[in-house]
Structure 1
Amino acid sequence: MIETYQEMFKRVKDKGEGVFIPFMVAGDPDFETSLEIVKKLVEGGADALEIGFPFSDPVADGQTVQSADLRALNAGMTTDKCFEFIRRIREFTEIPIGLLVYYNLIYQRGIDKFYEDAMESGVNGVLAADLPPEEAEESVKAARKHGIDPIFLAAQTTSNERLKQIAKMCSGFLYVVSVMGVTGARSEVKTSSVELVERMRSHTDLPLCVGFGISKPEHVAEIIDAGADGAIIGSALINIVEENLQNKTAMLDKVQKRCAELKSATKIKE
């Protein structure tokens, strides 16, 4: 049975840990290698997965993810192949899988069809990075119809009013954007991120997972210590892929090792 987000958050919390969610682009650097990378993420201790469908103009993403998107698109990835990719992941893990996509991919396929295919592939949640809640009614309806959690972003610029609206539409977890700007590894976690977690906690009971700019074990520990339920990390792992394109064995070993380090930092302090 595929684990729900609710079940996963409870399981991890019962162990006295925060949740670790690694992000990877489907098909980077190619379909089969990408699948092996995801296996290493799971073996390294991932509690859930976030998988990006490559897109030609990923406006919320920094250079690292843009390069990964380009490698995947050049390797021939399409939306059909991305759903096949999810089905292949489901052959070896039941942990929750969330998609990070751009709305054009949903719209092109047909909103209902996209969410139906997501459900049939074994997806738990979908976050459309460029879909504001004000325009998301049709997508949220299709997601709920097919048992998919609609996930939304909330940032420092999100007003309390808007936060309430997002919390009503969102399920699974709320994706807390820790920095102003695009995705990418940063050297430190801003104090404002800690304050943001506290502010959001007062408006929603949903689990809060912090992403954008989280790259080191100490960042993870800081975020969990601030009261977040989980940390989402992408660029720091994708950098390992990019730096080791000529040596797949080293790439896979390093990805697993980094995952284990990041996961070990989620231990909740007494």
Structure 2
Amino acid sequence: MDEFFSGKEQTVSEINPYQQPQAELIDDNNPPAQPLTILAEPRKISVGDALGWIGSGHKMLPGHWGVVLGALVVTVLITSAFQIIPLLGMIAQILATPLLYAGIVKIFHRMETEGNSDFADLFAAFSDRTGPLILMALAQLGVMLLLGAVFGGLGYALGAGGAGTGAMIVIGLLGLVAMFGFVYLFYFTVPLIFLGNKGVGEAMKLSLRGFTRNVIPMIVYLLVTMVIVLVAALPLLLGWLFVMPILAGAYYVSFRQIFVE
């Protein structure tokens, strides 16, 4: 019947009854995320900008609460289920978590650019930018083990050597600085790799640079969100069902404001 729609007559000689159906290699309903243009130098923001992310994240959600909440709940269930499996489960959790986080980022990207949301986007990174995201997870594990070895060794050496309280306080403060450095070294790497098409090393460098350019706003935002999460946990964790989608939206907004042209 194609000839009736195309306006061209199809002869018998043009028809090959043995021709195999042509498979569609690209899913038109869920194409790979189009790379965003990332600033060469992260944008400097104010404390007010950082606190505004929460309200902006909330504004993105009307009409999409179910998809976002469902994606977050499934992410928690999947990553928690890995913990049941000894050793291999921990490795699988480390590798799968950034892939799922990238899916949540894509959900918000679609909401912003297309005005709709698709739960299937949660698994987009299992077929798009998978390798770089897994390499990032391995880099994260490596840095974590290195910091643990360094500070664990220092603590043991000072304790065995009878170091005074002052030395232990200094080590504790250095550990706190290292913790913030670790968090923000990887904080924005998932969207930078998945949506910005950056390599692992460049994404880590940009993520840390985004923090160092905005130390005070980022720390204030982190402290405020920690308070919000703790308060939301009081009524049997039910408040998290409302708060976590908002904070997920705030995270996407923060990435856009700091890094995207």
**TM-score of the aligned structures, taking structure 2 as reference length:** 0.29
Richer in helix (by share): 2
Larger radius of gyration: 2
Higher strand proportion: 1
